[in-house]
Structures are given as structure tokens and as C-alpha cells.
């Protein structure tokens, strides 16, 4: 006689950020929740990327905006991929790195 096994709690076995998506990870509600969590992280972490938009578009997520440095872009991409693991994510991030001019501007 086989003993009945209790149902496996996939959420406990694979918490968010573990690289495995929880049950229902593909649902629109779950995607919106994960996007909201990503937005919170981006606002809270240095340098507080508030000029970045994260939106669900069909079955994918788009991340667009402008960041001050290439390092910020790399951190943004890493954080987004971590939070949205298992989803198709498209990035359109512009680096607006302000550097001092190497020569004076000539005005005529």
C-alpha cells in the first residue's frame, strides 16, 4: 500500500530569486507583481533609477530609459534579469555619460 504524498509546495522549495519560477510564473498578475517589485528595487538601490520604465508588453517585459553611466546600465540589466528570471526581457537603455569636453568650444 502506497502512502499518499502531500502536495509539494513549489514556492517554499524555490523562493523568488532562486532561478526557478514559482507555479503560475507566466500569469499576467504574477508578471505585474514582479515588475512592481523590480521598480521598487530600482528606486531604492543606488543610484535610484527613477528614469527607467518597466512595462509588460504581450508575453515580454520591456525596460527602457536613460542611465548616467555604463556601470549603472550593467547593474540595471543584472537586477532586472534577477527579478524577472524566466520571462522574456527586452532592454532599450541609453547611457547619458556626461564627460568634460577635451577642447574648448569655438564660438563665432
pLDDT of residue 36: 95
pLDDT digits (tens, 9 = 90+) for 52-92: 999 999 889 999 999 888 899 999 999 999 999 999 999 99
What Cα–Cα distance (Å) separates residue 80 from each residue in 18, 57, 71, 108? 14, 15, 14, 47
Beta strands in the chain (DSSP E): 52-57, 60-67, 88-95
Mind listing the domains of the chain with CATH numbers? 26-95 (3.30.1340.30)
Least confident of 18-32, 34-48, 84-98: 18-32
Could you tell me the pTM of the whole model? 0.64
Mean pLDDT of the chain: 78
Beta strands in 1-85 (DSSP E): 52-57, 60-67
Amino acid at each position: 500500500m502506497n502512502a499518499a504524498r502531500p502536495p509539494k509546495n513549489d514556492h517554499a522549495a524555490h523562493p523568488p530569486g532562486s532561478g526557478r519560477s514559482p507555479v503560475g510564473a507566466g500569469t499576467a498578475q504574477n508578471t505585474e507583481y514582479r515588475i512592481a517589485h523590480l521598480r521598487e528595487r530600482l528606486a531604492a538601490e543606488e543610484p535610484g533609477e527613477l528614469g527607467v520604465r518597466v512595462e509588460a508588453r504581450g508575453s515580454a517585459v520591456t525596460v527602457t530609459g536613460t542611465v548616467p553611466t555604463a556601470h549603472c546600465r550593467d547593474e540595471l540589466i543584472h537586477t532586472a534579469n534577477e527579478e524577472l528570471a524566466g520571462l522574456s526581457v527586452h532592454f532599450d537603455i541609453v547611457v547619458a555619460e556626461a564627460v568634460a569636453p577635451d577642447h574648448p568650444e569655438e564660438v563665432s
